[in-house]
Amino acid sequence: MSATRTRIMLVDDHALVMAGYARLLELEPDFEVAACHATAESAYADLQRQAATVDLVMLDLSMPGRSGLDLMRRIQMQWPRLWLLVCSMHDSPPMVSQALQAGAHGFITKCSDPALLPQAIRAIVRSERFLSPDVRAAEQHASAAAPHDALSPREFDVFIRLAHGDSLEQIAQTLNIAPKTAANLQTQIRTKLDLANATELLRYARQHRIVFD
């Protein structure tokens, strides 16, 4: 980490949102925005070139192409020293749980008070986990255990894409897996969740606030 500043990479597909984050962070004397990326693929490629110059990656979960969950898992495997902060519109317990399993050190929502962002980063740098108040409230109201808790990180990623209407061919191409593997994952997901078809899968995802109308 830099002796004086925490160097932050921003990953979000909404340009105005990312510009707002960058402006807010640059106002803090102990932060520096090292790079901005609109896709997980672009961020990962940049980290392969200059991971040593980045301390923390702040990222969204839902982006075109590979998801934020997938990016965090890849970062954890290759650069486990990097801190990870999720900033997402989703505060559902399943999304928060999967993000933490994927390696997130903190989770705030895009509805959070902007003043929480510097607090979150400083807490993470102190090796503390940070959840915004709305995320903590959502966790407290969550049911004890749900069928989707049994999904592996890869299955959960595919589950989200199926719920958003992606075809198996699209999922296979995005995740760089064989179409047969994507089909097998779909079968495993439906079996674990006891779902007969795509309609039931979408209904389940909406009921558990994993996707929205």
How many other C-beta atoms can be found within 10 angstroms of the C-beta atom of residue 162? 23
Query: What is the share, in percent, of the chain residues with pLDDT greater than 70?
Result: 94
Q: Are strands 56-59 and 83-88 parallel, antiparallel or unpaired?
A: parallel
Q: pLDDT at residue 138 above 80?
A: no
Superfamily covering domain 6-140: Response regulator (3.40.50.2300)
The sign one gets for the Cα dihedral 62, 65, 71, 77 is positive
Amino acid letter at 25?
A: L
Residue 192 pLDDT level (bands cut at 50, 70, 90): very high
- Could you say which DSSP state residue 213 is in? -
| Domain map (residue ranges) of the chain | 6-140, 147-207
- The pLDDT value given to residue 142: 56
- The pLDDT value given to residue 1: 46
- Mean pLDDT for 56-75 is 92
pLDDT (tens digit, 9 = 90+) per residue, 144-167?
567 888 888 889 989 989 998 999
- The pLDDT value given to residue 121: 97
Contact in structure between 162 and 201 (CB atoms under 8 Å): yes
- Mean pLDDT for 25-36 is 96
pLDDT (tens digit, 9 = 90+) per residue, 171-181?
999 888 999 99
Q: pLDDT at residue 213 above 70?
A: no
Strands in 31-37's sheet, in edge-to-edge order, are 31-37, 6-11, 56-59, 83-88, 106-109, 130-131
pLDDT (tens digit, 9 = 90+) per residue, 80-106?
999 999 999 887 888 888 898 889 999
- Mean pLDDT for 6-31 is 95
CA dihedral 136, 141, 142, 144 (to 10 degrees): 110
Considering the four listed CATH numbers 3.40.50.300, 1.10.3720.10, 1.10.10.10, 3.30.470.10, the one that applies to the domain covering 147-207 is 1.10.10.10
Instruction: Compute and round to an integer the Cα radius of gyration of the chain.
Output: 17
CA–CA separation, 161 and 156 (whole Å)? 9
Q: What is the pTM of this model?
A: 0.79
- The pLDDT value given to residue 103: 92
Of 31, 117, 114, 104, nearest to 68 (Cα)? 104
pLDDT, averaged across the chain:
90
- The pLDDT value given to residue 203: 92
Q: What is the 3-state secondary structure (H, E, C) of 144-201?
A: CCCHHHHCCHHHHHHHHHHHCCCCHHHHHHHHCCCHHHHHHHHHHHHHHHCCCCHHHH
- Mean pLDDT for 119-124 is 97
Q: pLDDT at residue 71 above 60?
A: yes
Helix (H, G, I), strand (E, B) or coil at 38: coil
